[in-house]
Amino acid sequence: MGKEVHPMELDEREVSLIERTFVITGVALAIVFSLACLVILFWPSNGASAAEPAPHKFIGAEKCGACHKSDAKGNQLKQWQGSKHSHAYQTLATKEAKEVAEKAGVKGDPQKAPECLKCHVTAFGAAASLLGEKFKMSDGVQCEACHGAGGDYAKVPVMKDRKKAVENGMIIPDEKTCTRCHNESAPGFKGFDFKEMWKKVAHKKPAAPTAKEAPAKPAK
């Protein structure tokens, strides 16, 4: 005959087994929960690729101007060429700019200093692969500084559809766009009145003439 097991001893063994089972189950659940959180965190939304969308290329003011230089459309190119924005980079070469830069603690040539270039040129810090053949840093604060890199929205079929243009990188500038550079951190800042400054750079396309204003067609 084998040794008789006391009922109390059996109960203690069962309790010990149950405790171990609870511990193992708890650890397993914790691992599963952690993995589930990671999946949710990194799973691409709407079935899209997890990779970031490719950045848009900068094409340069010259290429933008190809479609924005007629008087009938407002000649935005000419308006920009006559603005201080188009000379922002050249301004850094002046004696005055060098003095301002020195007082602000900028060392070396202002035309090479990141502290100056970040607001005096377009696409500062962008990879060389994102700069088109026509793009020139010397063109200063050009179209794409405010409207976004145009490599994808500059195509005529896209440009004609505002929604598509925005989806392809076009920015509709507002006060926040301007105050990224026109703020207290800029040396020599003397305040910025957005409404007044906007009047100086606004370059809307003229409204189409009404039937009364439209020129009469020549008689055949």
Q: Per-residue pLDDT tens for 186-203?
A: 998 999 999 999 998 988
Residues 31 and 80 both lie in one domain: no
Helix (H) or strand (E) holding 118: helix 114-120
Question: Which residue shows structure tokens 């193992």?
Answer: 24
Domain containing residue 180:
61-201
Asked if residue 54 is part of any domain, the answer here is no
CB 188 within 8 A of CB 98: no
Query: Could you tell me the two tokens for 113?
Result: 């200093």
| Residues sharing a CB contact under 8 Å with residue 150, sequence separation 6 or more, in sequence order | 56, 57, 58, 59, 63, 64, 143, 144, 169, 170
Is 47 domain-assigned? no
Is residue 53 a part of any domain in this protein? no
Looking at residue 23, its pLDDT comes to 66
pLDDT of residue 30: 72
Q: Which helix (H) or strand (E) holds 113?
A: none
CA distance linking residue 66 with residue 35, whole number of Å: 54
pLDDT for res 51 = 46
Please count the structural domains in the chain: 2
27 domain residue, yes or no: yes
Calpha distance 27→155 (Å, rounded): 57
Report which DSSP code applies to 69.
-
- Based on the domain organization, do 98 and 195 belong to the same domain? yes
Domain identity same for 103 and 18: no
How many Å apart are CA 53 and CA 152, to the nearest integer?
12
Task: Answer whether residue 213 shows pLDDT above 60.
Answer: no
In 8-25, which positions are buried (b, 16+ CB within 10 angstroms) versus exposed (e)?
eeeeeeeeeeeeeeeeee
Residue 188, pLDDT score: 83
Tell which phi-psi region holds residue 77, choosing left (phi > 0), alpha (psi between -120 and 50) or beta: alpha
Report the pLDDT value the prediction gives residue 73, as an integer from 0 to 100. Answer: 86
Q: What φ, ψ does residue 162 adopt, rounded to 5°? A: -55, -40
Lowest-confidence pick of 46-50, 67-71, 200-204, 214-218:
46-50
Instruction: Evaluate if residue 129 carries a pLDDT over 80.
Output: yes
Same domain, 65 and 33: no
Whether 129 and 28 map to the same domain: the answer is no
> What is the per-residue pLDDT for 140?
97
| Same-domain pairing of 196 and 122 | yes
Is 2 part of any domain?
no
In terms of domains, do 88 and 20 share one?
no
φ/ψ of 131, rounded to 5, equals -105, 120
